[in-house]
C-alpha cells in the first residue's frame, strides 16, 4: 500500500502489524498532518464483526473526545474492501513495552499512570462506553512537556468496547455468553461471559494493571486459559506488599478494592479511584463502594 492514497492521506511506510491489521505512517496531502492509518487484514475483511470493530473504535473515540483517548480522524474502505482508520500518530511507548524494559515501576510512577488511566476511563464511562479490553498494550505513554512528569497517557483500541444508546444502534459487537477481552486483565464477570458487564469491569482491569506495575507481574498467571479464568473468578490475589513491600498500605488497599471479585465491592466509579489515589487510601474515595454510576 506504500504510495497509495486513502481519502486525503498518502501512505508513506509501514509502522507495524498486529492480529487485526497493519499500521502505516501517512500524511494529509493538503494540510500536511501526519497520521497513523490502520488497515484491516485481508483475511478479516469478509467478516462483518471484524469490520464492525474498526468502526466501533472510531465511534467510541469520537463520542468520548478526551485528551486521554487516541483521536480517530477518519474511517473508510479501501478499493479492495478493507476497512481502515486514520488515527492520531503517537510518539512514545506502550506501558507493556515500558514494563518489559524496566520491570516493576516505582510506586509514584505507577500511581501517576493509573490516575491518568482512570481519568480517561471516567470520560468514557460518562458517555456510557465500557472499554472491555484494558491492558498495558492499550495504554500508550506519550511525551508531553506541559505536564510535571513530561508524559501523559493515551488509551487505545476501543474495538470491542461496549456502547450504549444511539452509539450502540449500529454496533452489535456483544453476543450473549461471549467472552471479550484479554484473559490476564479480565474481570470475573467477563470470564463468565456475563451479558451485564458494566464500567466496573474496566476498574478491575485497571487494578490488574496497577498490580502489574508495582509488583512486576500481573495478579494471576494460570497454567492455561481455564486455570487463569478460574483464578480471576475464585482465587484471592497475593497481597501486593508481599511482592512490593515498598508500597504503602493505602495503595495496597486501593489495588485490592479494584480487584474485588464482586463488582459491588469495587470502587463505584473511575472518579472514586482518582480520589483514592490522590488521598492515598480507599477511604479518600467518594462513593468508593456500591454501584454508583461512573
Catalytic residue IDs: 133
Instruction: Give the closest residue to 25 by CA, choosing from 197, 93, 33, 147.
Output: 33
Residue 145's SS3 state is coil
Provide the phi-psi class of 216: left if phi over 0, else alpha when psi is between -120 and 50, else beta.
left
Distance CA 128, CA 158 (A): 13
Say how many C-beta atoms besides its own lie within 10 A of residue 16's C-beta.
11
Distance CA 58, CA 52 (A): 10
Instruction: Give the closest residue to 28 by CA, choosing from 91, 90, 86, 92.
Output: 86
Q: H helices of the chain, where?
A: 48-64, 95-102, 107-126, 188-191, 199-215, 225-234, 240-243, 249-258, 270-279
What cell was used for 105? Answer: 515501576
- Bridge partners of 75, per DSSP, are 85
Phi, psi of 28 (to 5 degrees): -75, 130
Phi, psi of 126 (to 5 degrees): -60, -30
| Cβ-contact 269, 110 below 8 angstroms | no
| Cβ-contact 235, 222 below 8 angstroms | no
Distance CA 24, CA 47 (A): 22
- Bridge partners of 88, per DSSP, are 35
Amino acid at each position: 500500500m506504500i504510495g497509495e492514497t486513502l481519502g486525503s492521506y498518502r501512505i508513506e511506510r509501514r509502522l507495524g502489524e498486529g492480529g487485526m491489521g497493519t499500521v502505516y505512517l501517512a500524511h494529509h496531502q493538503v494540510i500536511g498532518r501526519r497520521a497513523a492509518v490502520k488497515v484491516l487484514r485481508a483475511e478479516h475483511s469478509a467478516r462483518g464483526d471484524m469490520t464492525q470493530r474498526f468502526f466501533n473504535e472510531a465511534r467510541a473515540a469520537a463520542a468520548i473526545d478526551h485528551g486521554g483517548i487516541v483521536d480517530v480522524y477518519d474511517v473508510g474502505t479501501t478499493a479492495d474492501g478493507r476497512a481502515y482508520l486514520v488515527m492520531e500518530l503517537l510518539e512514545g511507548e506502550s506501558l507493556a513495552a515500558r514494563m518489559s524494559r524496566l520491570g516493576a515501576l516505582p510506586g509514584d510512577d505507577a500511581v501517576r499512570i493509573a490516575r491518568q488511566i482512570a481519568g480517561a476511563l471516567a470520560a468514557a464511562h460518562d458517555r456510557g462506553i465500557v472499554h472491555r479490553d484494558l491492558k498495558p498494550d492499550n495504554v500508550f505513554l506519550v511525551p508531553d512537556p506541559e505536564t510535571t512528569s513530561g508524559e501523559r497517557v493515551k488509551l487505545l483500541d476501543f474495538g470491542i468496547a461496549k456502547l450504549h444508546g444511539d452509539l450502540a444502534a449500529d454496533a452489535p459487537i456483544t453476543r450473549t455468553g461471549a467472552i471479550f477481552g484479554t484473559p490476564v486483565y479480565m474481570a470475573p464477570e467477563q470470564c463468565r461471559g456475563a451479558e451485564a458487564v458494566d464500567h466496573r469491569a474496566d476498574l478491575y482491569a485497571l487494578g490488574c494493571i496497577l498490580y502489574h506495575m508495582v509488583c512486576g507481574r500481573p495478579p494471576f498467571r494460570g497454567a492455561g486459559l481455564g486455570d487463569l479464568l478460574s483464578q480471576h473468578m475464585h482465587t484471592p490475589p497475593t497481597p501486593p506488599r508481599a511482592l512490593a513491600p515498598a508500597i504503602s498500605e493505602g495503595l495496597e488497599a486501593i489495588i485490592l478494592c479494584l480487584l474485588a471479585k464482586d463488582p459491588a465491592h469495587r470502587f463505584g466509579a473511575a472518579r472514586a479511584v482518582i480520589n483514592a489515589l490522590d488521598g492515598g487510601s480507599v477511604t479518600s474515595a467518594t462513593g468508593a463502594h456500591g454501584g454508583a454510576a461512573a
